[in-house]
Structures are given as structure tokens and as C-alpha cells.
Structure 1
């Protein structure tokens, strides 16, 4: 007699009896012998504290998937309506003998309970979630009468958060990347390293690349690597590197202050805390909101885009995924996202309002000099689409 059985739900409709019952059995939702799961993060389930499952269950988000395997095979469960359900017509049934189960999250290509490649692009919340690798093994399990298999998922990664400080003047930090080991192979952290493009959060009222801006990355833990790059960035046109990945432990959150002074990068001693929050996306961070940038046909000054004397060039605006990662070229114009002012395509009036907001005095003087009708015509005298203004259209002549 098999310990467990992979049941094809469609086949159950033919009234075939399972090996541990003589009764006809229905589909998963009605089968009292089906294995149902509860999953929590960094929690060891015990019979003495089964109630913890309710609160811990909230640590996963709707739509999260876990892959569960045993000697009979494997299948995926998805969290839907607050319950974990199989993603297809196959499911597991309890048997009489002990079984060892293994599980991992997230369900991505190449992942298993022993292998995981850390994604290097973590600039979006969904990418950050796909880096949050967890595993679990539950040995010699039998049904305790609840028909529930409880999975205590253990985080295998660490979270690093860096907050910019002491950035001088109107200078802007760009292209920040955080070093990490590349993941797991056969259950061990691999020795090779990669540079992670982190998730960026700009504080309310702040600007990208300036003080208070935070960079969040999920990294593979491991021993200190003295020669590997931990931080790389560009400041005032100069590429800077901070070598030395510190020793990091799984399921921990490390918060650093990142300082850039001239040509020197430095980081503080980290604040270390348990990483016991739920899976992402789930409120750990807000989507990046971009500040407005000054753009001219040709770059000026240090081309940071922080003011008219240091305006960004049009080509830099087009090519800068770090500055405008959400920019999409559509119908010859770019989407433009400015904190609290413009969402997606800008109208002529929205551009005028944004110019006013740049500087209470200079912005209005510029509008008076150009004239509001001048915003509807580019420098070649060609009429613009006043409902789809390009970022910097009031000055770039496009």
C-alpha cells in the first residue's frame, strides 16, 4: 500500500476508491483525506501551539505559491482566499505511515529545496519577492487528526537596507548596486558574487539619489568576502566602489547608513534585527516615486538634472533607466512620473504647474518669459500634443 497517493481530481469522478478507504471520494475540496497545508515564516509548528498558524498564515500574500514534494512526487499550492490549494487537479492524500515532506518558496525556474539562483534585478516589488528564498523539511509526519500539514518555512536569504546620508549639495548618487553571493547549490551558498540592482524608495518631499533615499536588496548570506564588491555607484560622474562583503546571516535584516563624501564611500555599522515580516509585496516598501528633473537639449554643468545650471541632456533622459526606470516610449512621447504632480503622460497644464513647483520665483518667471502658449510649440515651431507632453518638453525642443 502506498503511503500517499497523488490523486487526479478528474479521475475521482469515475468513482475509483482510494487504497485507504472503500468509499467513493470526491474532489479535493470534499475529500476528508486530502493533505491540506498551512505555512508560516520562520516558525516551528508544534502540537502544543497549533493556534500560531492563524496569525503566521498572514505572513504570506494572496497568490504566493509553495512547491511541496514527497516520495510520490511534487505539486504546487497557491494561497487563494486565505487557503492553500493545489494549482492543478493533482493533490496528496494522507496515508497510515510516516512521510517526509519538503517545500520551498518562491516557485521559480531552477529553484528547489537545495538550489536557488538569486535574481540580480530587484528594482520592482515583484522581483524582490522572487528573491525571498525559503525552504522547509518536515520529517516522518503522520496525520494528527487535523488533516493539516504545517510548514515552518525558513528564510535562506538576508535583507540589506542602505539609507543615503551626507550627500553634498545638489549632487545625486546614481547606479547604486549591492554585492551578494549568487545563491545556493546543493544546499550550500555558492562562492561567486553578483551585483544586485536594488529596490529604491524616495522619502516624501525628497529626490532620487539624495539624502534619505533607501536601497533595499535581498542577498545570499555567507562569510565575509574581503575582496568582493559590496557597494558600487556613480557620484558626480565618477564610478565608486566599496569592497568587502560583510558576514551576513539568513533571516536577518541589516540596515546601513551609506555615506558618499567626494570620492569616498563609507557605511555605518549595521542595525541588525530579525527579518520576520511577511512575503513581498506586502507593504515592506512603497513603489519608487521619482522627483522632477530639469532637462535641456544639451546637458549643462554636472548634468544631474537638479537645477537649470546642471540640466540633464535629452539623450541622458532617454537612456537613463536608473533615473526614469518606468519611462516608456509610446507615440513618440515618454510617460513622465513626478511625485504628487504628474502621473504618466503630462498635459500642457501639468507641465506648467510642475515648472511653477520647481521654484516659487524662478519657475513663475520662466513661465512669464515663455508664455503659457509657448509650451504648446517646440523650439522648431512644431505643435506638440498638449495632452501627451514629454518630460522636459518645455525646454528640450522635441
Structure 2
């Protein structure tokens, strides 16, 4: 593609020695048998976010979706319209005789490329949620196989997180929910800094915003676990609450959590992990993992759920689990969690029974204090 031939007609022809037939000076995309036809699919069983859709609809691109296709001499944008991809302006590509390497990415938003992406933090509208669904593709040494189609196998780079409220008591209302995420990609690598995403909110039929069954959906940049970064922040009964510990997530997966607020403590269940298109935003289908034991260290590790040593809870979380409360619902919930469970504690110094903490330590079956 060493030269660009501009046409008088509504469509123009991007030509070149390596990839394009240069015999014609005038062409119209829809009438040119040598034009490259783009077909974009997802290289997995899970595909588009389409948070308002279900089943097969989640596996389709939306009308008006736009991707960018690049080669060594430039780039073109294609829009999905009427079930096919078409150039958005007065240029298009033709097949040539030599192999060419193409790259593509979706969505076409400010700062995006096949190696870089800034995660949109306002995902409160469906279109904003879709604009966070970053995908890339590289097709090396492409040649025409006789079909005239350039097949783009798009690879999803993001993960989907769904949190569903449970055990919100009385008229209490959860507000201002935000979900922590890494900020995107730079040169193909996940950036180390994090930000908070305002999620898409779904209120169940007959339900109320901020109460049981309300769900929060965010598309996030997956990466390694971050023990100090905020995973959930919200306001409950006028108090701002924060839960640290972004868990390790994988691209193309959906993670569904049950989100609870007990007194002044945020907790989430172990996630139900599924392919992207299996998760819904209706809420209510996440199940809390029933652990056989809890693991505790002086400082929390991993996602701080206490499920193993790599994800051990800290002393504050243990104290919250052991405490009784003036709210009988909280006390009963803690009792259920602890019933029949073992607690493994790493060597260290722990202040378990603090003044007014609601924790009473008693011993039985031992000849002296432990």
C-alpha cells in the first residue's frame, strides 16, 4: 500500500504495490469484486457484552459497532450495519498479490489501539458498558483464499464483574457503589494503577434501588491480585465504606459475587465464574462459597476471603466474623458462617477481643489458657 488513489465518487480506493491491485483508478466498495470484505468474530465461545440481551444475542456485535483495521501504511474504520462491516469513510482496501499483516481493535474510542486502552470508568449506560469491551486481533501474512473475506478473530481483553446485593436489612439503602479495576493497557500490558468504575445498575422487578436483588455490572481490566487496592466502595446509612483487595481475574470470564453489608463491613462471596455470555445482570444467581475452614494472617493476603493461605483474611476481618451485634441478623449470619468451621491462624500477634468489639473468648477442654 504505497499510494492512496482518491476518487471523485463517494467511495475512494486505497491501493498499493504489496497488498492492492493498482490497475483501477476508480472503484466503488460495494461494486468492486477485489475489495476486502471484513468478517469479525470472537475467538471464544463467549463474545459481546450486550448486557441487555440474553443467549445468542450476547454473541453478536451490535448495529453501529465500529472497529479499526490497520496495516503497514495506514488504518481504516469499519462499522457494523445491516449484518455486515462496511468502511465508514471514502476509502477501502483491495486484495493484492503479496501477504499483508493486519491488526484490528474494538471499540474505536479515544486512546484505544491494538496495544493501548484506557478503561472508561463511567459504565452507567449500556453504550458506555459496551465501550469498555476491549478486543484486539492480529492476522499475519493474510492473502485472499478466494472468498475475498478478511476474517478477524477478535480476542477479548476484559473481564465482567456482577455484584448482587443480599441481606440489606429494613429500609437501608446502598448507594454510590463503585468497583475497582486496573486502568487499562499500555503497550499490551496491564497498567499497575487502579481506578473505580461506576457500574451499570439493574433493579429487579418489584425491587428497590440499593436493596436486595439489585445488581451492579462492570467491565474491568483483569490482572493480578492487588491486596491494597479498593475492590468495592459504597455508602450505606450515610457511612462511606471500602473493601480492599482486587482479586485476580482472567480475560473473557464473568465473575458473579454476592455483595453484603453487615454493620460497617462490606463482604463478598467467592465468585461464580463462567464464560462471559453465561452471566446475566438480573442478579440473584451468585452463591456464597461454604468454606470448611478459615485462614488468618496478621495482614490480609490475596482477595482476603480466608479460603486458603494465599487469600488469608486479616485480623480485622476475623474479629468481624467472631463478633456479636445488637443486630441479631448479623450475629446469626456470623454464627452460620462459623458453624463447624476450623480457623487456622498463622504465627503472629493478634488483638482479637477489643473493647466493645462484641467478641468474647472462652476456652474449654484445656487445662490452661491457650
TM-score under structure 1 length normalisation: 0.63
CA distance in 1 between counterparts of 2:205 and 2:90 reads 47
C-alpha distance in 1, partners of 2:91/2:13?
16
Corresponding residue number in structure 2 for 1:82 = 83
* Partner SS state of residue 8, structure 2: helix
Q: Give the superposition deviation at 1:24.
A: 6.4
TM-score normalised according to structure 2 size: 0.68
- Report the CA distance between 1:26 and its aligned residue: 2.6
The answer for the alignment partner of 1:243 in structure 2 is 244
Following superposition, the deviation at residue 41 of structure 1 comes to 1.8
Cα-to-partner distance string for 1:192-243 (whole Å, 9 max, x where unaligned): 0001100000000000000000000000000000000000001111111110
Superimposed CA distance per residue, residues 64-107 of structure 1 (whole angstroms, 9 cap, x where no aligned partner): 00000001210100011111000001011111111100000000
Alpha-carbon distance between aligned partners in 1 of 2:30 and 2:110, rounded to the nearest angstrom: 28
Over 3 Å counting, the alpha-carbon distance change for 1:264 and 1:17 in structure 2 is: closer
Cα distance per residue 1:279-338 (max 9 Å; x no partner): xxxxx658xxxxxxxxxxxxxxxxxxxxxxxxxxxxxxxxxxxxxxxxxxxxxxxxxxxx
Q: Which residue of 2 aligns with 1:29?
A: 30
| 1:170 equivalenced with 2:168 (yes/no) | no
Distance 2:14 2:248 in 1: 56
Aligned partners of 1:9 and 1:28 also within 8 Å: no
The residue that corresponds to 1:65 in the other structure is: 66
Q: Please give the residue correspondences for 1:126-275 in structure 2 after superposition, counting only pairs within 5 Å.
A: 126-275=127-276
Aligned match of 2:319: none
Q: Is contact 2:117–2:185 with CA below 8 Å preserved after alignment? A: yes
SS in 1 for 2:241: strand
Say what the alpha-carbon RMSD is for the aligned residues.
2.7
Contact 1:162 1:214 in 2 (8 A): yes
SS at match of 1:90: coil
1:331-388 residue CA offsets vs partner (Å, 9 max, x unmatched): xxxxxxxxxxxxxxxxxxxxxxxxxxxxxxxxxxxxxxxxxxxxxxxxxxxxxxxxxx
The whole-number CA distance in structure 1 between the counterparts of 2:273 and 2:216 is 16
Q: Which runs of 4+ in 1 moved over 2 A?
A: 4-26, 55-58
Change (3 A) 1:150 1:9: farther
Distance 1:205 1:17, change over 3 A: closer
Question: Contact 1:28–1:34 (CA<8 Å) still a contact in 2?
Answer: yes
Q: Structure 1 residues 248 and 93 mapped into 2: Cα distance closer, same or farther (>3 Å)? A: same
Aligned to 1:10: 8
- Which residue does the alignment assign to 2:92? 91
- What runs of 5+ residues in structure 2 fail to find an aligned partner? 46-55, 283-370
Q: Distance in 1 between matches of 2:199 and 2:149?
A: 37
Call closer, same or farther: CA 1:94–1:106 in 2, change over 3 Å: same
* Conserved 8 A contact 2:179-2:196: yes
Query: How far off its partner does 1:8 sit?
Result: 3.5
- State whether residues 5 and 12 of structure 2, in contact with CA within 8 Å, keep that contact through their aligned partners in structure 1: no
- How many pairs align? 269
Q: Distance in 2 between matches of 1:29 and 1:168?
A: 60
